[in-house]
Amino acid sequence: MGVTRQEVEEMLENPEQIVSGDQNALVAQSRRGEGLLRVPFVEVEGKRKILTVYWTSQAKRYGEEGDEDDENSV
């Protein structure tokens, strides 16, 4: 199961959720199949610079099913 550039760009424009990551990074994430597509990024001059892209089957670990009142939810 591959991830296309278009899929990543679309997800960054409209993620299900953005959560805090490590070292001032943010993580855009959306459900994909039986898991979660995660895209850690940083804001640089008003643009999102992608650090990496990965899919995980451990959605609960990353708060995908967490509190809907989370201030980082989008």
For 27-60, write each residue's pLDDT tens digit: 999 998 888 999 999 999 999 999 999 988 877 6
What's the pTM value of the predicted model, to 2 decimals?
Answer: 0.74
54 contact partners, CB below 8 Å, separation of at least 6: 37, 38
Nearest to 1 by CA among 37, 48, 25: 37
Tens digit of pLDDT for each residue in 18-35?
Answer: 999 988 899 999 998 888
Residue 64, pLDDT > 90, answer no
* Residue that has been written with the tokens 């990353």 in this structure: 62
What mean pLDDT do residues 12-23 have?
91
